[in-house]
Amino acid sequence: MTNKLLMGLATAVVALAAALFGGVLVRPSAAPVDALAASKSVEDFQAGFGLNASTTSLVAGLQAALASNDQDEHSWMLLGLAYQQRARETGDPSFYTQSDGALHRALALDSKDSLAWSGLGSLALSRHRFAEALQLGRRAHALSPTTARNYGVIGDAEIELGRYGAAFHDFDTMNRLQPSLSSYARVSYGRELIGRTAGAVRAMKLAVDAATDATEPTAWTHVQLGKLYFGHGRLGAAVREFRLADATFPNYANALDALAVAVAAQGRVRQAAAIERRAVALIPLPQYVATLGDLYAAEGRHVLARREYALIGAIERLLRANGVRVDLEIALFDVDHGIRLRHALELARIGQSERPSIDGDDVLAWALARNGSCREAVAYSNRALRLGTQDALKFFHRGMIERCLGNDIAAGSWFRRALALNPHFSILWSPVAARYAA
């Protein structure tokens, strides 16, 4: 990488940091009264679930109300959002299809309902349809420019489309309009992306405090805080947060999956596999199933590992049937496990074109390297590292690319950098990094 390029990247990062930090390092401002009165925020909606005991009962109540009056636009809108929360809680992608139908029913009754439009935007985000999410978020914003939620939808889409400066600006605006769990969590992620981990932890702690009595969102914030700790090798702190998340929202698959990885990092692989089995039994998401397979492989239980890996294709088909794009995720799984590498590279190219973020760039770089196209891989690896993100897996991928090019000294430096950040960054690849770093 040339000095000129380094200077350009440094200038860009400073600009991104200024956009991100503007409203979070000062005392949070109160949300405008008119914005709060005009719409129901995500946090208020989720807090309502806690007050009503469960999302299931809320869905049932809304369905009963609509059976009596199917012209109630507000109930259709709330039902559409409730279905998304059910998808989040259960991992069942069929709720996305139901959410889509309910939100379109709401818009058929009132085409100017900004929350219904932003609900479709968040649905598009869940389905990994980021360009579509950006358009929907902008449409919601045009109808209600002071609603904080709309900036979150727009910013999330911009992150995945690689438009980081615009995304950080929108997250900052969101936080100024309405400091909340959602805005603090987004600021935390933005800080993490530019390598400001301590600031990311501070912002996520604000998100934890803002969650109040909403159980699943509270548990989610603890998981995210734990992942920040885990990413920097703080295993004890990570395990504590993951266990707290599961205690807050019992049988929380998201927490169990994260806990399993952390417990494995502590050397208790069999116990980790038992925890991951609970996560898979609750929500058979591809990443949970893949992790369980990797844990079995680490134990030497290769028949069980292959059985788990074989499930990935069926889950992929179910997700696609419900409108979820998973090209990048499946490409990463296949590349990691040496499956159909040429096809995986094709998927990675498709996924990166739809998601030209640092994650899309990193997966494509790794797929290229595993297919022997290591010179092309360097360019995408440079892009994946351009924000200064402290991500051990990205460092490892770069090390493997350098090794492929015969640059053993540079490769060793990247492997040592990955291990210094988090010695247990990957069930599959940490041992490889340790071997090549020696």
Query: What is the CA angle 228-231-235, rounded to 5?
Result: 90
Q: Residue written as tokens 């890996």?
A: 309
Q: Do 57 and 199 sit in the same domain of this protein? A: yes
Residue 401 counted as domain residue: yes
DSSP of 4-49, one letter per residue? HHHHHHHHHHHHHHHHHHTTTSSPPPPPPHHHHHH---HHHHHHHH
The total number of structural domains that make up the chain: 3
Q: What mean pLDDT comes out for the span 323-334?
A: 93
Q: Do 336 and 308 sit in the same domain of this protein? A: no
The predicted-structure confidence for 34-63, as pLDDT tens digits, reads as follows 333 333 444 444 433 333 347 888 899 999
Query: What is the CA angle 301-302-303, rounded to 5?
Result: 100
Convert 152-175 to b/e letters by CB count within 10 Å (16 or more is b): bbbbbbbbbbbbbebbbbbbbbbb
Q: What mean pLDDT comes out for the span 262-277?
A: 97
Share of the chain above pLDDT 70, in %: 88
| CB-based contact 31:179 (threshold 8 Å) | yes
Q: Do 194 and 311 sit in the same domain of this protein? A: no
Q: Do 349 and 427 sit in the same domain of this protein? A: yes
Q: What mean pLDDT comes out for the span 140-144?
A: 97
Q: Do 413 and 320 sit in the same domain of this protein? A: no
CA distance 78 to 89: 16
357 pLDDT more than 90: yes
Residue 263 counted as domain residue: no
The predicted-structure confidence for 173-215, as pLDDT tens digits, reads as follows 999 999 999 999 999 999 999 999 999 999 999 999 998 777 8
Q: Residue written as tokens 């990048």?
A: 328
Q: Do 110 and 187 sit in the same domain of this protein? A: yes
Q: Do 293 and 197 sit in the same domain of this protein? A: no
pLDDT of residue 53: 43
Q: Do 202 and 279 sit in the same domain of this protein? A: no
CA distance 279 to 256: 6
Helix (H, G, I), strand (E, B) or coil at 342: helix
Residue 98's Cβ-side half-sphere holds a number of Cα atoms within 13 Å equal to 15
Q: Do 113 and 228 sit in the same domain of this protein? A: yes
Q: Do 178 and 83 sit in the same domain of this protein? A: yes
419 pLDDT more than 80: yes
CA distance 438 to 430: 13
Residue 81 counted as domain residue: yes
Q: Do 231 and 283 sit in the same domain of this protein? A: no
Q: Do 180 and 207 sit in the same domain of this protein? A: yes
CATH of the domain at 376: 1.25.40.10
Q: Which of 86-95, 160-169, 319-328 has the weakest average pLDDT? A: 86-95
Residue 259 counted as domain residue: no
Residue 194 counted as domain residue: yes
CA distance 401 to 385: 13
In this structure, what DSSP letter does residue 366 have?
H
Residue 213 counted as domain residue: yes
Global pTM reads: 0.86
Q: State which residues form the domain around 280.
A: 268-325
Residue 294 counted as domain residue: yes
Q: What is the mean pLDDT of the chain?
A: 88
Q: What mean pLDDT comes out for the span 78-95?
A: 89
Residue 365 counted as domain residue: yes
> Rg of the chain's alpha carbons, rounded to an integer?
22
| CB-based contact 161:131 (threshold 8 Å) | yes
pLDDT of residue 10: 31
